């Protein structure tokens, strides 16, 4: 057997997280402690992991449940280590002070993910309204049998895609400008959809969560009928634990 | 951990979820994120199951173009649009019985469809680069899904960090293939 590692918590928070996992519907986990940090683990078979749906969901469920009891540093999906001593020697031991201070720095902070996308029909109408030549092309192409128009369809679609991308850039910047000041850091992800406007993770302090929520709500009302918004969180800081991330321009004291 | 105050769902359409829902969304949230120790990432992401739910779309691909084209074909164009229009031209086009125009359309297709080159958001590269870009973008889309299935690809590093000035610069380098030489 090997040990699947979900994430890392402060050792003092791990017992509550483990107890909660035992009671809930998320998979059980154990804690391996070292100095001030703990790794949350489960036993898995040796060898390559076949990650099926239930494993993927379990990874997120365990971290989400644990997160209710303290800061969490998620591990990359699919990380498994040989045994307990390997976890200590290779993961917790070499970095324990660093991990502990990162966890302390994340206390009271969560990731909020904002996924915004254009509604299809208003978007397409708007694209055609601003581009009479394209609109004309659409009208003409409709008159022809489908077999004759495959190439034209691609050209039309490409022109639409380009127009959409241009708007995404502008609107994305506008939305970002509203939300960035309310966050400690931002992580821009690749578009989640071909009509995406924004797909971003924001690291938000707990005392700013209400303001952030209100700001997204306000944007959603402002752009109703044009852009639909999805707000996910509070999440463990998935987007903020590997390498650097872009910092919002507001120094904030963590004290 | 403080939880965001629950706001009443107004007319705003804002969807709130405490966590990701559904496999596609979970993957989008957690994939390629988190602390990584390469040698211990032992994942063989089961290809078929994941590819069918992989919600990550490559923006500039032939599939996307065809979807947009199909969607625009379903629009009822007799409705007047709400945003800026050139009233005279719209008036002409919406009554078009273009039977008189079809004779020449295949011969003059390219020019007729995209003649003037005065698309308001066009920087000129889109057309000349498009055939080149199309093949490279579809090439990129397949290599993206391949690299993801082997786990620990470079896509993880760039999505969460390493961008210099704006987050938008990393976004444009990921999602643009042919039609953007627009610098951000």
pLDDT in tens, A32-57: 999 999 999 999 888 777 778 888 89
User: Quick one: pLDDT at residue B171?
Assistant: 37
CB contact under 8 A, A124 and B170: no
CB contact under 8 A, B35 and A142: no
Per-residue pLDDT band for A150 (boundaries 50, 70, 90) equals confident
Name which of B4, B109, B157 is nearest A243 (Cβ-Cβ): B157
Which residues between 60 and 99 in chain B have a beta carbon less than 8 angstroms from any beta carbon of chain A? 60, 62, 64-73, 75, 77, 79, 81-86, 89-90, 93, 96, 98-99
pLDDT in tens, A69-89: 999 999 988 888 888 999 998
CB contact under 8 A, B162 and A243: yes
pTM score, two decimals?
0.68
Of the two residues B112 and A5, the one the predictor is more confident about is: A5
User: Quick one: pLDDT at residue B42?
Assistant: 60
Buried-state track A162-188, b at ≥16 Cβ within 10 A, e below 16: bbbbbbbbebbeebbeebbebbbbbbb
pLDDT at residue B83 is higher than 90: no
Name residues whose C-beta falls within 8 Å of residue A72's C-beta, 6 or more positions apart in sequence: A7, A8, A9, A63, A66, A103, A106, A236, A237
CB contact under 8 A, A133 and B115: yes
pLDDT in tens, B41-76: 665 544 434 443 444 445 567 888 889 998 998 888
Q: Chain A within 8 Å of B123 (Cβ-Cβ)?
A: no
**Whole-angstrom Cα distance, residue A154 to residue B154?**
30
Q: What is the 3-state secondary structure (H, E, C) of chain A?
A: CEEEEEEEEECCCHHHHHHHHHHCCCCCCEEEEECCEEEEEEEECCCCEEECHHHHHHHHHHHHHHHCCCCEEEECCCEEECCHHHHHHHHHCCCHHHHHHHHHHCCCEEEEEEEEEECHHHHHHHHHHHCHHHHHHHHHHHCCCHHHHHHHHHHHHHHHHHHHHHHHHHHHHHHHHHHHHHCCEEEECCCCCCCEEEEEEEEEEHHHHHHHHHHHHHHHHHCCCCEEEEEEEEECCHHHCCCCCEECCCCCCCC
User: Quick one: pLDDT at residue B38?
Assistant: 63
- Chain B residues whose beta carbon lies within 8 Å of the beta carbon of residue A68: 1
**Whole-angstrom Cα distance, residue A230 to residue A210?**
16
- Assembly ipTM: 0.83
């Amino acid at each position: 057997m090997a040990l699947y590692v979900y994430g890392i918590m402060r050792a003092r928070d791990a017992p509550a997280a483990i107890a909660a996992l035992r009671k809930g519907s998320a998979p059980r986990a154990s804690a391996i402690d070292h100095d001030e940090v703990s790794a949350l683990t489960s036993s898995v078979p040796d060898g390559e992991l076949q990650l099926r749906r239930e494993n993927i969901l379990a990874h997120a469920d365990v971290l989400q449940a644990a997160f209710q009891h303290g800061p969490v540093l998620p591990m990359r999906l699919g990380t498994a280590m040989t045994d307990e001593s390997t976890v200590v020697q290779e993961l917790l031991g070499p970095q324990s002070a660093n991990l502990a201070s990162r966890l302390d720095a994340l206390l009271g902070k969560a990731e909020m993910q904002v996924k915004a996308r254009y509604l299809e029909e208003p978007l397409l109408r708007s694209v055609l309204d601003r581009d009479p030549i394209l609109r004309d092309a659409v009208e003409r192409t409709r008159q022809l049998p489908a077999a004759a128009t495959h190439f034209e369809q691609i050209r039309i679609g490409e022109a639409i895609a380009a127009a959409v991308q241009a708007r995404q850039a502008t609107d994305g910047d506008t939305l970002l400008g509203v939300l960035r000041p309310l966050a400690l850091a931002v992580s821009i992800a690749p578009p989640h959809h071909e009509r995406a406007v924004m797909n971003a993770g924001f690291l938000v302090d707990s005392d700013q969560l209400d303001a952030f929520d209100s700001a997204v709500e306000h944007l959603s009302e402002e752009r109703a009928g044009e852009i639909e918004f999805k707000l996910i969180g509070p999440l463990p800081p998935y987007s903020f634990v590997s390498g650097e991330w872009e910092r919002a321009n507001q120094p904030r004291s963590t004290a | 951990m403080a939880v965001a105050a629950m706001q009443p769902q107004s007319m705003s359409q804002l969807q709130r979820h405490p966590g990701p829902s559904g496999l596609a969304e979970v993957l989008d949230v957690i994939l390629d994120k988190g602390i990584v120790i390469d040698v211990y990432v032992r994942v063989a992401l089961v290809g078929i199951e994941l590819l069918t739910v992989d919600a990550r779309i490559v923006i500039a691909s032939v599939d996307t173009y065809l979807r947009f084209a199909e969607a625009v074909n379903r629009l009822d164009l007799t409705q007047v649009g709400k945003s800026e229009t050139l009233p005279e031209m719209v008036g002409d086009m919406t009554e078009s019985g273009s039977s008189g125009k079809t004779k020449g359309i295949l011969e003059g297709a390219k020019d007729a469809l995209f003649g003037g080159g005065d698309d308001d958001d066009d920087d000129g590269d889109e057309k000349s680069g498009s055939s080149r870009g199309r093949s490279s973008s579809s090439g990129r889309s397949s290599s993206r899904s391949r690299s993801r299935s082997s786990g620990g690809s470079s896509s993880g590093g760039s999505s969460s960090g390493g961008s210099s000035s704006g987050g938008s610069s990393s976004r444009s380098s990921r999602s643009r293939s042919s039609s953007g030489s627009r610098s951000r």
